[in-house]
Amino acid sequence: MADLKMKKLKTKRYKCLDCGNEFQGIGKRVVCPSCQSENVEESN
């Protein structure tokens, strides 16, 4: 059996501009997990 090493994924913090939910996401097309809105912005 091969020994696989997993790299830690770099997630970013996002805030939904529709419902105000703050969450972590990854990828090019981030969607709010609460309301499924794509109206999100990267937060600090």
List the one residue out of 32, 2, 27 whose CA is nearest residue 15. 32
Q: What b-and-e string marks burial along 5-44, b requiring 16 or more CB atoms within 10 Å of the CB? A: eeeeeeeeebebeeeeeebeeeeeebbbeeeeeeebeeee
List 11's β-bridge partners, or say none: none
Predicted pLDDT at 16: 98
**Residue 26 forms part of a structural domain:** yes
Predicted pLDDT at 9: 78
Predicted pLDDT at 44: 79
Predicted pLDDT at 20: 97
**Residue 3 forms part of a structural domain:** no
**pTM of the entire structure?**
0.75
Predicted pLDDT at 2: 63
CA gap 16, 8 in Å, rounded: 24
**Residue 38 forms part of a structural domain:** yes
**Residue 4 forms part of a structural domain:** no
Q: Count up the domains in the chain and report the number.
A: 1
**Residue 37 forms part of a structural domain:** yes
**Residue 5 forms part of a structural domain:** no
pLDDT tens-digit map of 1-44 = 566 565 677 889 999 999 999 999 999 999 999 999 999 999 97
**Residue 24 forms part of a structural domain:** yes
List 23's β-bridge partners, or say none: 14
Predicted pLDDT at 41: 97
**Residue 19 forms part of a structural domain:** yes
* Structural domain boundaries enclosing 25: 12-42
